[in-house]
Amino acid sequence: MSTVNRETPRPAAGRAGIKKELPAHFKDYRHVWVFIELERGQVHPVSFELLGEGRKLADKLGVELAGVVIGPPGEATRPAVADAFAYGADLVYIVEAPLLADYRNEPFTKAMTDLVVTHKPEILLLGATTLGRDLAGSVATTLLTGLTADCTELDVDTDGSLAATRPTFGGSLLCTIYTLNYRPQMATVRPRVMPMPQRTDRPAGRVIRHKLSVPEDEIVTKVLGFLPDSQSANANLAYADVVVAGGLGLGSAENLQLVKNLARAIGAEHGCSRPLVQKGWMSADRQIGQTGKTIRPKLYIAAGISGAIQHRVGVEGADLIVAINTDPNAPIFDFAHLGIVTDAIRFLPALTEAFTRRLSPHNRDKLAS
């Protein structure tokens, strides 16, 4: 068993050596905004995680936290507005129009950039989801401002600038990026990187409505229909309570069945390290790590995974990490809470059998709660 070592090098706070007088008109930009991602009636949980983070930034700056809801008129946006207040927003900006019923880049970019130009937030946060990444990039380029993608830490510098930290050089270093010359300062954060804040049901605050000035015939993208994505619908790794993952140490695609069997026995999701996706042994939506999913389960079991930094950053938020590896010096033992030095190919079936014997369906539910 190894001890926990969570000493990932952090950049020093502040921007020693690059202090810069901020332009006077930056004072016109105030408040922290979070895009509330709403797709087909569902708010993506990353929006709540960002509201939690946005609340901290707004309190440090002494400004307000606003949610931005963009969607169709009527009932569809109401839960998103209520959720924004429940997770800490002081006010909500809302743009409603029939042509915003389904996400399309052009009208959503127009809605967001119009809002920003009118109300001038200093910080704008979006989830690094497929939708959020698409929108953030086009909003930043339209507004000609800076965007720091896939941040792992957000803070406020002494002069009130956003300090956006993200991995660099293949994940081996963390760098803190500032948008010194432009406003707003934009950042995206992947789901599960920030903790989920407490929900507190409270009365709705101010809602500021904004009209969208773009007709349907000016939008080149038309939504013809939706096809279910069977693979991603199955993989709910980011929000799973228990995850079992396999790495190259398992030796073959066939041996991944051992991981799936254990996952099924304990009601867990299964995942993998990146090389397995590259080999075509598992689908990309099962990859865990810097370029895959970030997970925060109560229990993470990693079998035959070395614990490279790019994998580590995706699993560090787990409450309990159990590593199975033949090499006692594998890096994963530096941050696993429990290490088992053994052959995973022999150990996984024994563990699955032990769990299957002991866990009735009732107890399995308790494990996940």
The residues of the shown chain that bind ligand FAD, judged by CB under 6 A, are: 170-171, 247-249, 273-275, 287-292, 304-306, 308, 310-311, 314, 324-327, 330, 343-345
Q: Which is nearer to ligand FAD, 97 or 250 (CB)?
A: 250
First-last CA distance in the chain: 26
CB of 258 to ligand FAD, least distance (A): 10
Q: Which is nearer to ligand FAD, 123 or 276 (CB)?
A: 276
Q: Which is nearer to ligand FAD, 178 or 347 (CB)?
A: 347
Q: Give the DSSP letter of residue 11.
A: P
CA distances from 117 to 110, 113, 149, 183 (A): 10, 6, 21, 10
Q: Token digits for 45?
A: 């949980």
CB of 324 to ligand FAD, least distance (A): 6
CB of 76 to ligand FAD, least distance (A): 34
Q: Which is nearer to ligand FAD, 138 or 342 (CB)?
A: 342
How far, rounded to the nearest angstrom, does the alpha carbon of residue 233 sit from its chain's CA centroid? 17
By DSSP bridging, strand 42-43 and strand 38-39 are antiparallel
Helix axes 46-61, 78-86, angle to 10 degrees: 50
Q: Which is nearer to ligand FAD, 186 or 303 (CB)?
A: 303
Place of tokens 């209520």: 82
CA nearest to 321, candidates 292, 298, 288: 298
Q: Give the DSSP letter of residue 80.
A: H
Letter string b/e over residues 162-201, b meaning 16 or more CB atoms within 10 A of that residue's CB: bbbbbbeeebeebebbbbbebbbbbbbbbbbbbeebeeee
CB of 179 to ligand FAD, least distance (A): 24
CB of 354 to ligand FAD, least distance (A): 18
CB of 278 to ligand FAD, least distance (A): 9
Q: Which is nearer to ligand FAD, 34 or 258 (CB)?
A: 258
Place of tokens 């199975």: 324
CB of 339 to ligand FAD, least distance (A): 11
Environment class of 74 (CB within 10 Å of its CB; exposed 0-12, middle 13-18, buried 19+): exposed
Compute the radius of gyration of the chain from its Cα atoms. Answer: 22
Q: Which is nearer to ligand FAD, 64 or 334 (CB)?
A: 334
